[in-house]
Homo-oligomer: A and B are copies of this chain.
Amino acid sequence: MEQVFDFIDSNRKEAIDTLKNLISQPSVSATGEGIRECAHLVKEMLAQLGAKPTVYDMRGSSPVVAGKLRSKRNPRKTVLFYNHYDVQPPEPLELWKTPPFTPRIKDGKMYGRGASDDKAELVGRLVLTEGFLEVTGDIPCNFKFLFAGDEEIGSVGLAECAKRYPGTFKADAVIWEFGGVDGNERPLVSLGVKGMLYVQLTATNATTDAHSSLGAIVQNPAWRLVRALNTLWKNDRILIPGWYDNVRPFTNKELKLIHDAPLEAGALKKELGIRRFIEDMDVLEAKKALAGKPTCTICGLKSGYVGAGPKTVLPSEASAKIDFRLVPDQDPKVLLKKLKEHLVRKGFEDVKVTYAHGEKPKRTSPDEPIAVSACDAAREIYKKKAVVIVSSAMTGPMSVFKAPCVAIGGGHPFSNAHAPNENVRLDLFVKGMKWVAETVSRFAAT
């Protein structure tokens, strides 16, 4: 492995140039700007590596670019690298110190939209592969590459692609798109994401807003909505029958990892301007909730008049947007059905449920060889014990892969992902490549 690390070190400049080139190509999935060009660019990068790229043109979404390399000495094991070549819109532009698509290096960081999320990781995967090939003439096991172009807009095309071409998504382990160190330079190994069911509830009655004096005789959809919502959640628990049926409990090992993972509760409360967590939960409870609690969050409420002062109106419509976060093994389709049945059973057949987005949760056991390999590799590279995140509170399309999945890489917590002045630390860019190389090397040997 030392020779592979040497290759990575001595090719630092070339890797940085490749990253610069990739950042310079805008690829904003929200607007479509540069998406096709960027898909072509990453396809060429795979071709140059000899990874026989295929471009899946997903109608209505961005192309999915896939590639594969066969290992000579270990062709029965496959690692898949999932990354995305699309980026968040760069706005607000006025807050960028340098133009978002003109990458600049300053103080050991490269700045530009996509620098951290997810172009440095994507380039890193290719450079370390090149390292294996140059130094050993082979790779430790088969490698697959899957580069999505719609991660920032909900991954609908990726999910469709997984359905149509399941073979392309098959592997023994997946290296997820992000990862890195925490605020104390401890390497993070993330093993899961929450799922999501996002719906809108809408109550209507009259065809037009009316004078509120008619509230004496005309049903108010705002009241219908409030009462319907009220049947969904109480004391931090979702009241829909069967909602928790498929919730997989944490193993003792996962509980220990949650206990050991740090949460800067004081700093978080300060940042949010709150004095306590919901239900007055302590730090351990908060960590468990973030990793494994199904949630029901009202993201928006809308009805009638919301301007200044009083207006005497009886609204004709009221709606709420709700984000349910799911945990293994909850399924958004099953729960959507339960939600609808619950509302009907409670007498709210007039409250319409509109499905907006669904994503299955995913959690990889810390005992999986890929997870163990990532932790062992972290200790080797960083000379520190990895912090294992049993599951992020966030949601991502991890569940399109059946295989175990770990999120590791070269990121850091101040990278401004999704924000102006996004950046990647070049030392971690290099270190992250070594970590991933060490991880797949160890995994291939299991």
A-to-B contact residues, CB < 8 Å: 154, 194, 196, 198, 205-208, 210-220, 222-223, 225-227, 229-230, 233-234, 272-274, 276-278, 281, 286, 289-290, 293, 295-306, 309-315, 318-321, 323, 325, 356-357, 392-395
Contacts and interface: CB of A to CB of B under 8 A. Distances in A.
A214 B393 contact: yes
A216 B321 contact: no
A325 to B, nearest CB: 6
A295 B314 CA distance: 12
Contacts of A230: 226-227, 230
Contacts of A278: 217-220
A215 B295 contact: yes
A219 B319 CA distance: 21
Nearest to A288: B216
The secondary structure that dominates the A interface is: mixed
B323 A299 contact: no
Contacts of A321: 304-306, 310-311
Contacts of A293: 216
A325 B272 contact: no
A393 B227 CA distance: 25
Contacts of A310: 154, 198, 299, 321, 323, 356-357
A304 B299 contact: yes
Contacts of A218: 272, 274, 277-278
A299 B305 contact: yes
Contacts of A276: 219
